[in-house]
Amino acid sequence: MSTTTQTEWPLWEVFVRNKAGLDHKHCGSLHAADAKMAIQLARDVYTRRQEGTSIWVVPSSQITASDPGDKGMYFDPMEDKVYRHPTFYELPDALNHM
Amino acid sequence: MSIQSIKVGASPEVQYLLRVGDSCLILAQRISEWCGHGPILEEDLALSNMALDLLGQARGLLTHAAKLDGQGHDEDQLAFLRDERQYLNPVLMELPRGDFAFTQVRNFAVATWLLLLWQRLEHSSDAEVAAIAGKAVKEASYHQQHAADWVVRLGDGTEQSARRMVEALATLWPYFNELFDADAVDEAAAAQGFGPAWSELKTDWQAHMSEVLRDAGLTPPKDSAFVGAGRRGIHSEHMGHLLAELQYLQRAYPGGKW
């Protein structure tokens, strides 16, 4: 059993929505003792220049990330698959701005 | 040669506004001393934000006080060129920042008091004061919540944090009396609908205070008969040092701007 004392508060990821209707965007992280404190501190750290109308916080430990070592096999094969973009369709003039 | 100090007039409106405005200004100065010294980066920012909110409130009130005073002064002159006796904040605001427990207890007490005050000033007979209060009420609500959470965390925290909270409460308790003291300026402001007599705020303030102290597992200290006289310009030995730092630049470089 580990007997080490936790000397740092847990890390939280902060997501801020800057306008109603838009999605929450990841904007950084911070340390806080619990969710309530994380929301307050996110407000003070990340929305003090009017960046926000809503905040989400998620314990960083709850995020599962892809392994950087897998980057080659995960993402490189997509480089030459231009046909996956719908750019080969000819659109009627009326739809030119799609 | 440094520039001459200025004096403000004795009208109840001006005095009343300066009592509130100076409270915001002096507490902003004290809280800003945490900048770069907060226990964690995030709280450092939270405290700095709070100091800036209070400074913004002070600017509004000082500007308006200067206008009502009619001597052609502006907010900067009122903030930087008065002598100690001309500052009308309760002594509570100028006490040294102390430790983190002291800061949070004072912040909670003052934010609660200011919130109650702003809520009433929103109905001031003076439209400008009502507008300043309308904006400030939201800021004070957040300051109150943030500080209340800390009071509970620290009071109900470790042995050390609880001990420090008890000490902070004991030191601060006598200074709270001045926030509810009645006098002629106060009565005149209340009589003409300019702002509430501060004594009106006491019952609500006590209710908020006891609720949060109960959650924090803290007992209110015994009441004291001491009443500070900062509102009449009689300050503690700490005020002169605070003003020396606050006023230094304007005194050394008169009219200096960013």
Buried b (16+ CB within 10 A) or exposed e, B208-246: bbeebbeebebeeeeeeeebbebbebebbeebeebbeeb
Mean pLDDT, chain A, integer: 88
Residue B1, in any domain of the structure: no
Q: Which domain holds residue B16?
A: 12-252
CB contact B35 to A (< 8 Å): no
Residue A1's pLDDT is what? 46
CB–CB contact B49 A41 (8 Å): no
Rounded to an integer, the average pLDDT of A41-59 is: 94
Residues of B in contact with A6 (CB under 8 A): none
pLDDT of residue A21: 86
Q: How many domains does chain B have?
A: 1
- How does residue A90 score in pLDDT terms, banded at 50, 70 and 90? confident
Q: Is residue B2 part of a domain?
A: no
Q: Answer whether B49 touches A (CB < 8 Å).
A: yes
Structure-token match 């010294």, residue found: B37
pLDDT at residue A96, rounded to an integer = 67
- Residue B160, Cβ neighbours under 10 Å: how many? 10
Residue B175: give its domain's CATH number: 1.20.1260.10
Residue A75 has pLDDT above 70, yes or no: yes
Give A5's pLDDT tier (boundaries 50, 70, 90): low
Q: Examine residue B75 and state whether it is found in any structural domain, yes or no.
A: yes
Length of chain A: 98
Q: Which residues of chain B fall short of a pLDDT of 70?
A: 1-2
Contact list in B for residue A9 (CB cut-off 8 A) is 40
% of chain A with per-residue pLDDT over 70: 92
pLDDT in tens, B124-161: 999 999 999 999 999 999 999 999 999 999 999 999 99
Q: Do B46 and A41 touch (CB under 8 A)?
A: yes
Q: What's the rounded mean pLDDT across residues A6-34? A: 93
Task: Give domain status of residue B5, yes or no.
Answer: no
Residue B149 included in any domain: yes
Looking at the complex, report in whole angstroms how far the Cα of residue B138 sits from the nearest Cα belonging to chain A.
14
